[in-house]
Amino acid sequence: MRARTFLLSLLAVASAGTTSVVVSASANGGMVDSAADATRTAERISPPVDLTPDRPRVFMAFHGTNALANNSSLDSQWSFVRQNLDGLWGNNAAISGDEIARVTNKVDTRQLITESDFRGSSFFVETYDYVERIDPRIDFEREALTFYTSEPSRWDGDTIAAARVAVDRASYGAGDDKYTNVFTGWQPQNFYTDIVRQYPPIPAGSSAERAVFEGDGIFVECPHDVCNGVEYEDGFFRAMRIARQTNQKFVWLASRLPGQPQAGWLQEFQTMYNRVSAEGLWRPGDIVVVIAYGGQYPIVPERNANGHAADTTTGIMYWALSQ
């Protein structure tokens, strides 16, 4: 089941003007960054090259990991993931900065990609400065800031170039790395061209389309099995092929929604992951993010008694890391 191919016509990068991408310099935990810190220019540093390029990198979202942060008796039940996780995904809804610090100190990685509401406050950015300030053991390697929206019109009047300026001028702690890449974030419905589904399509020639083509990565959420031959398959694969044609990283946010069955996610995840592999669409640097909204899915153990991946949130990460 394939709709017509989404043809690309890459457009020139629009000149940076006044941006409405808001990443403010403001107080963090009672401390205010200096003007010099707020205006430092980020060094454009490529993220580490995955030593296993046949698989995408695996990131764990902070959201939904409260139990891992607060219950040390669970630590031994996700030891492989703790040691081998490739990165952390900065969706910090419903988790405190102190909990983020605790869960961060349980894993070896410090690679961070932050997800931000498109025109919202700099809450998502400032949280990680706060975490570094309260715990000197933590020094995040900031790879990218992802501006997410399911409404393409929010890009009207904005450009990736302007977003980069806003990210460079954001509030950072003294000595902190700046975010070195800008990703755009979407729902798969945004990539349909024939009909308006739950979310509107990205219009041809729009600011949103130019942002999709000109960013450093494309992030698409697709929960449990809905992108696997069900409702949003075409949109997901169109987004992924755009990432391939524009030489961007692709990020699949593999999510589990509240109220879904408490079993079967591992098999659904494996089916979708293997379909992408069979079509040869993974590239080095791509990312799979695993997130169970509200922590409403069994989170441990990562392995069953037979040593195989368990049907849990950490079990999915264990399986993906083992590919």
Query: At residue 34, does pLDDT exceed 60?
Result: no
As a whole number, mean pLDDT of residues 55-78 equals: 97
CATH of the domain at 211: 3.20.20
Rounded Cα–Cα distance for residues 290 and 256 (Å): 8
- 225-264 pLDDT, tens per residue? 677 766 788 899 999 999 999 999 999 999 999 888 999 9
Rounded Cα–Cα distance for residues 17 and 313 (Å): 42
49 in a structural domain: no
8 in a structural domain: no
Per DSSP, the three-state class of 232 is coil
Predicted pLDDT of residue 138: 96
Predicted pLDDT of residue 3: 29
- 192-214 pLDDT, tens per residue? 877 777 899 999 999 999 999 99
219 in a structural domain: yes
- 71-94 pLDDT, tens per residue? 999 999 999 999 999 999 999 999
Domain assignment of residue 83, given as a range: 71-321
Query: At residue 44, does pLDDT exceed 70?
Result: no
Helix axes 97-104, 123-134, angle to 10 degrees: 60
> Contact, 113 vs 125, CB < 8 A?
no
Rounded Cα–Cα distance for residues 251 and 182 (Å): 12
Band (pLDDT 50/70/90 cuts) for residue 11 is very low
In the predicted model, what is the mean pLDDT of the chain? 82
209 in a structural domain: yes
80 in a structural domain: yes
Find, among 183, 176, 211, the residue nearest to 13 by Cα.
211
274 in a structural domain: yes
Query: At residue 24, does pLDDT exceed 70?
Result: no
Percent of the chain with pLDDT over 90: 65
As a whole number, mean pLDDT of residues 95-108 equals: 97
CA separation (Å) from 21 to 16, 28, 38, 257? 12, 20, 16, 28
State pTM to two decimals: 0.84
20 in a structural domain: no
Which helix (H) or strand (E) is 128 found in, with range? helix 123-134
DSSP codes, 63-126: TT-HHHHH-GGGGGGGHHHHHH--EEEE--TT--HHHHHHHHTTSS--EEEEEEETTS-SHHHH
Look at the chain and report how many structural domains it folds into. Answer: 1
Question: In this structure, is the dihedral angle defined by the CA atoms of residues 170, 176, 177 and 181, taken in order, positive or negative?
Answer: negative
As a whole number, mean pLDDT of residues 139-156 equals: 94
Band (pLDDT 50/70/90 cuts) for residue 126 is confident
Band (pLDDT 50/70/90 cuts) for residue 291 is very high
- 273-286 pLDDT, tens per residue? 999 999 999 999 99
Residue 81 identity (one-letter amino acid): V
Higher model confidence: residue 51 or residue 165? 165
113 in a structural domain: yes
> Contact, 153 vs 56, CB < 8 A?
no
Question: In this structure, is the dihedral angle defined by the CA atoms of residues 55, 269, 142 and 183, taken in order, positive or negative?
Answer: positive
Query: At residue 35, does pLDDT exceed 80?
Result: no
Measure CA 98 to chain center: 21
> Contact, 174 vs 34, CB < 8 A?
yes
Query: At residue 36, does pLDDT exceed 70?
Result: no
Query: At residue 28, does pLDDT exceed 50?
Result: no
As a whole number, mean pLDDT of residues 16-28 equals: 31
Predicted pLDDT of residue 165: 87
Higher model confidence: residue 46 or residue 323? 323
